[in-house]
Chain A
Amino acid sequence: MDTTTTQGQLDLAFVLLFYALPLVGLVVFGGVGIITERRHYASIRQREQTGRRIPMVPVRTHDPDQVVVESRLVSASVVISLDYFKRFLASLRNIFGGRVRSYETLMDRARREVILRLQAQCPNADMVLNFRLETSSIANTRGKKGAGGVEVLAYGTMVRFAAPGTTPPPLH
């Protein structure tokens, strides 16, 4: 009789370990993931409102009347990944198809973050020319199974114009 109860306890432990633990994981990691995302969005919105807006344009030319005093290549990048719960939701989406909202917000966060970082790198720029955004999937931590993360890279040429009426800087 004593052995059967031990057996029963073992079975219960087994069931808990294999079925309940992943569920707990989903809830816990998903919860932390949601908090992380909310915080990130709050920070993005705050920085977008308070930061100085520099026009970032995909064109390659600027007004020829403007005198350029400084120009250099600037770049910024971020690697960001989904939480366990959202990745699970995305894998469910794979079965039925349709919008994968969790990945949409991930890409949105990454792009907005990277734009903010690029702007932080050239606070005195008047314009960023030939602005490019590139995405690559990077962190496949568990082989093909891990959804991993994405890297978003932003780069462009910052230019700073002279104040109107000033003479061009000496070229060297």
Chain B
Amino acid sequence: MNDLLLTNLETVPGRRIIEHYGLVSGSTVRAKNVGRDIAASLKNLVGGELKGYTELLAEARNEAVLRMNAQAAAMGANAVVNVRFSTSSVAQGAAELYVYGTAVRVE
């Protein structure tokens, strides 16, 4: 599942696509937890990187990618091309991280 080749190009450099399986996607909705929120609001006073949020979003994005990979692997793909990330806030304090791409089989 993790050895899928991911790329945000239309092709996998150096490899030939032999089969297309169509769109695969993964998403996750995350809310900020209270502890992190308090720490972040304190950090907000002095500015700088909000590390808690950076980690939270990176974890969530990984999760979305894993879900997309599982979908692609189930189809028999060994690569996902044209991968795109998108973020949208669905509610106050919650964000949806969405990742999508085209599942393919390469040589």
Contacts and interface: CB of A to CB of B under 8 A. Distances in A.
29 contacts: A29-B45, A29-B46, A32-B46, A33-B47, A36-B46, A37-B48, A40-B48, A68-B14, A71-B7, A71-B13, A72-B5, A72-B7, A73-B8, A75-B61, A78-B49, A78-B54, A81-B47, A83-B45, A86-B47, A106-B47, A134-B86, A138-B57, A138-B87, A138-B95, A143-B92, A146-B41, A156-B8, A169-B14, A171-B107
Interface of B: 5-10, 12-15, 32, 37, 40-41, 43-51, 53-54, 57-58, 61, 83, 85-89, 92-93, 95, 106-107
A123 interface: no
Contacts of A148: 44
Given A130-B8, A136-B87, A156-B8, 5 more contacts: A79-B49, A83-B46, A138-B57, A157-B13, A171-B107
Interface of A: 25, 29, 32-33, 36-37, 40, 60, 62, 67-69, 71-73, 75, 77-84, 86, 106, 113, 129-130, 132, 134, 136, 138-143, 146, 148-149, 151, 153, 155-157, 159, 168-169, 171
Contact of B5 (A67, A69, A71): A71
B67 to A, nearest CB: 15
- A-B pairs, top 5 by smallest CB distance, nearest first, are A68-B14, A83-B47, A73-B6, A79-B53, A68-B13
